[in-house]
Structure 1
Amino acid sequence: MAGTLSSMTGFGRADGAAGAARWTWEVRSVNGKGLDVRVRLPGGLESLEAVCRETAGKLFARGNITIGLSYQRGQGDAVPRINEAALNAVLAALETIRRRVPDAAPVGLDGILSQRGVIEWAEPEEGAAEKEALGSALRASLEGALAALAEMRRSEGRAIAEVLAGQLAEIARLTALAEAAPCRQPEAIRARLATQVEALAGASVALDPARLHQEAALLATKADIREELDRLVAHVNAATVLLDAGGPVGRKLDFLAQEFNREANTLCSKSNGTELTAVGLELKTVIDQMREQIQNLE
């Protein structure tokens, strides 16, 4: 059974509140070569950037992660305050108008107070305890959003692990099929070599018997795929161990996928029969599909 793997794509969200403040954390993750954390915070809360990076760094090893905070401060506890400068400017303007238009109707208090900037809503000064409580609540909901992202990445990772396990089983099956290919049987190899040696002998009457023997040995060596088959089996075992171990194994699996592809290419180039070539091409198809899945793993 495969261990716990994580993909590099996912989404997490968490809402929070403290006093009159309301906020929402949203975190997104996509594939990346390493861990890249980008943070977008509203003015006045920039000090949380270090917390965001540190918390994400503890949970994730790879991925391009974007952390965003939407923050709203309600006016439930706000108190009105007269902006003296704005009020003086409005009164001065009204006095100027009164002098120029003596018959103009006087402006009442409601009209004066309704002018923009005359009344401001000010938040009460927060004490150290309130600030600490707000910071704790923001950090807690951040951790919740990142935990939701981590769980989504693990869920996708479990699905990818199942697909990879099936692809490894298919590679093992194809490797065994190549092992048993009729064209690899000693009788078939001898018959093919005999035909090639006969062609070589007929090409030149002066062909030295020792040289003929060397050519036959070279043909036999080129047709031997024993090492490729053994390495394919070893790579399947190594990949299975990584899946069972779980964790951030994407880079190691990607390296193994390259090795799988190398062996499949060599098998195709050494093939001495159409059935073996067909197996080699099918191997390459499965390996390419496996690499696509591995690219999504942490």
Structure 2
Amino acid sequence: MTSSMTAFARIQVQEDWGSLVWEIRSVNHRYLEPHFRLPEAAREVEPGLREALRKHLHRGKVECSLKLQLAEGQQQLSVDESALEALQSVVNKVETYFINASGVNPLEVLQWPGVMNNEEANMAPVHAAALKAFEMALVQLSDTRRREGAELEKFIHMRLEGISEEVENVRSVLPDLLESQRQKIMDRLEEAKAELDPDRLEQELVILAQKMDVDEELDRLSTHISEVKHTLGKKGAIGRRLDFLMQELNREANTLSSKSINAGLTQSAVNLKVLIEQMREQIQNIE
């Protein structure tokens, strides 16, 4: 099923230990590029978050933000008295060497590594809830991406129908165009027949016939259209394959334009390139 790479999901959880909110935003990107914004208390769950993300998504730049609010009593601050005594001993020793070394700022002392203890309650339930809520947010995000992908698929099918109509239009008028062009050439050659070398004349006719023959380009366009439809029905990441097919479609449209023998054929080639470019822009958002 076709999935877009642009989506947003938000999940909020309220428990006895507090609350958390997950917000996930994704936009188009060539590869899967996750970015996590986590509070310090949830850093250790990041590997599990990355693993879960890879199971759900294949491409896209994904911003994952977790807001965590712990209830009162979940975190308590205390002073490590042994570390504080050791620090005081060092300060006393410094005072013996330097005048005015006393008057230590208590807040600066508290910033010394090891003096302050952050006594946290059991964080296992919080971490488990964060992982579970993240999975729920990923499901929500994936559903949104699929819904938008379904709309993109409809858009692409409409453009494919437009390309098919242009191809059939060229096929239908091509015999008359070729016959008219051949007749014009023959009339001109008839007038100048006495002045042209027969071998040179044959070479020119072969060159003109090759220039006017666009059957191969029309066949390739039809083949690429069928392949795009087939790719849209595949599972998994299909965006890169579709982008490649857009390049191939555009190549054939350019060749058709270069072989144009009248204004009508030129206009059809232009219409084809417009439709292909419209598809290509939307395909940039497909996973």
Query: Using a 3 Å threshold, how does the CA distance of structure 1 residues 265 and 293 change in structure 2: closer, same or farther?
Result: same
Equivalent positions of 1:1-298 (< 5 A) are: 4-76=1-73, 126=121, 130-181=122-173, 184-185=174-175, 188-196=177-185, 199=188, 206-298=195-287
Q: What are the superposed Cα offsets for residues 164-211 of structure 1, whole Å, 9 maximum, x if unpaired?
A: 111111111111011112xx21x5424423433554676796531121
Query: What is the one-letter code of the residue matched to 1:207?
Result: L
Q: 1:73 to 1:231 in 2, by over 3 A?
A: same
Decide whether the 8 Å contact of 1:15 with 1:24 is kept in 2.
yes
What's the offset of the Cα at 1:17? 3.6
TM-score (norm 1): 0.78
Structure 2 Cα separation of the partners of residues 21 and 257 of structure 1: 50
Contact between 2:78 and 2:119, CA under 8 Å: does it hold in 1?
no
- In the alignment, the residues of structure 2 paired with residue 8 and residue 79 of structure 1 have an alpha-carbon distance, to the nearest angstrom, of 42
Distance 2:273 2:265 in 1: 12
Show structure 1 runs of 4+ deviating over 4 A. 76-85, 122-125, 197-206
What are the superposed Cα offsets for residues 126-156 of structure 1, whole Å, 9 maximum, x if unpaired?
Answer: 3xxx433222111101111111111111111
Secondary structure of 2:43's counterpart equals coil
How many angstroms does 1:20 deviate by? Answer: 2.4
The question of whether the paired residues in 1 share the 8 Å contact of 2:6 and 2:27 is answered with: yes
1:280 positional shift: 1.2
The alpha-carbon distance between structure 1 residues 60 and 83, as it changes in their structure 2 partners (threshold 3 A), is closer
Q: Secondary structure at the match of 2:25?
A: strand
Amino acid paired to 1:282: N
Question: Bigger radius of gyration, 1 or 2?
Answer: 1
When residues 174 and 265 of structure 1 are mapped into structure 2, their CA distance, relative to the original with a 3 A threshold, is same
Asked if the contact 1:11–1:152 (Cα under 8 Å) also holds between the matched residues in 2, the reply is yes
Verify the 8 A CA contact 1:239 1:253 in the aligned structure 2: yes
Question: Is the alpha carbon distance of 1:215 and 1:275 closer, same or farther for their aligned partners in structure 2, counting shifts above 3 Å?
Answer: same
One-letter amino acid matched to 2:275: V
Displacement, 1:18?
3.9
Q: Which amino acid aligns with 1:16?
A: V
The number of residue pairs the alignment matches comes to: 254
Counterpart position of 2:98: none
Deviations 1:41-78 (A, max 9, x none): 11132112211211111111100001111111121566
Residues 224 and 140 of structure 1, relative CA distance in 2, 3 Å threshold? same
Q: Distance in 1 between matches of 2:12 and 2:234?
A: 35
Gaps of at least 5 residues in structure 2 are: 85-109, 111-116
Note the residue ranges of structure 1 that are not aligned, 5 or more in a row.
Answer: 86-116
What amino acid maps onto 1:236 in structure 2? Answer: I
Q: Identity rate of aligned residues, in percent?
A: 36
* Displacement after TM superposition at 1:14 (Å): 1.1
Distance between the aligned counterparts of 2:79 and 2:220, measured in 1? 81
- Within 2, Cα distance between the matches of 1:61 and 1:82? 47
Contact kept, 8 Å, 1:13 with 1:144, in 2: the verdict is no
AA aligned opposite 1:28: R
